[in-house]
Amino acid sequence: MRKSLEGDQLAYANLLRETARLLRPFLSKRLSFESEIDDLLQEILISIHKARHTYDGKRPYKPWVYAIAKFRLQDYLRAHYADQLRHSVELSELENILHEDVTESTISYESISGEIQKLPEKQAAILQLMHEEGYTAKEVAAKLGMNESAVKVAAHRAYKVLRKKLEQS
């Protein structure tokens, strides 16, 4: 690190590569998806770059790096859980949906197929299977490797979006 602070680009590149190697297992234990790990690792490396003036070479390097990594990980997890909360469904709402027969709808699939294609891929696929091909929620769940409740929730969300769009138009 001392060399890299002096502007040695090769030493700096090696240091960052070693740091990435060091941090990958640390992040793998805490995150499930490889893409998440890569994204966060990049963010941590950028943070290390931004904060490199706060390391003077007189203290051990690892505690400094891990402090930054933990800080970015906490930030990431906080944002991740906040996002999940925003998109969560109220339990009471869920109870209502689970009893609904989501395969029956007063809107014909053909009339709104254009709007359906604009939905997220999974939701569009669920609606297509249910309303164009006539599968039940249970069958769709088995086909897509999801559970039945998740299919119903996804369908319900898609209906909500479609309803809003139809009301606007």
Partner 1 sequence: MNDINQLVEMLATDASPVRPAPSAFMLSFKLMGAAAAYLAVSLAISGMRPDLIEKLHSPWFAAEIALLILIFASTSLSVALLGFPDLHQNPGATYAPAAVFLVFLAVIFFAWIADTPPAPLPMHSFQCTLGIMMVSILPAMWTFYALRQYASTHHRLAGSIALLSSFSVGALWLRLHELNDSVIHLIQWHYLPMLGIGLLGIGLGKVLLKW
Task: Please choose, from the candidates 141, 125, 122, 144, the residue with its C-alpha nearest in 3D space to the C-alpha of residue 133.
Answer: 125
Residue 50 near partner 1 by CB under 8 A: yes
> Burial, 52: exposed, middle or buried (Cβ in 10 Å; 0-12, 13-18, 19+)?
middle
Residue 120 contacts partner 1 per CB under 8 A: no
The residues, ordered by sequence, that sit 6+ positions from 48 with a Cβ below 8 Å of its Cβ are 16, 19, 65, 68
φ/ψ (deg, to 5) at 119: -75, 165
Query: Which of 26, 30, 64, 94 lies at the binding interface for partner 1 (CB under 8 A)?
Result: 64
Question: In terms of CB distance, is 35 or 168 closer to partner 1?
Answer: 35
Instruction: Assess 12 for contact with partner 1 (CB under 8 A).
Output: yes
Options 52-60, 89-97, 105-113, 115-123: segment touching partner 1 (CB under 8 A):
52-60
Q: Binding mask 20-39 vs partner 1 (x if CB under 8 A, - otherwise)?
A: x-----------------x-
Give the range of 56-64, 103-111, 135-143, 159-167 binding partner 1 by CB under 8 A: 56-64
Distance, in Å, from the CA atom of 23 to the CA atom of 161, rounded to the nearest integer, reads 40
71 touches 40 (CB < 8 A): no
Nearest residue to 163 (alpha-carbon basis) of 93, 95, 116: 116
Applying CB under 8 A, which part among 48-56, 87-95, 105-113, 160-168 lies near partner 1? 48-56
In the complex, which residues of this chain contact partner 1 (CB under 8 A)? Answer: 4-7, 9-10, 12-13, 16-17, 20, 38, 41-42, 45-47, 49-57, 59-60, 63-64, 66-68, 70-71
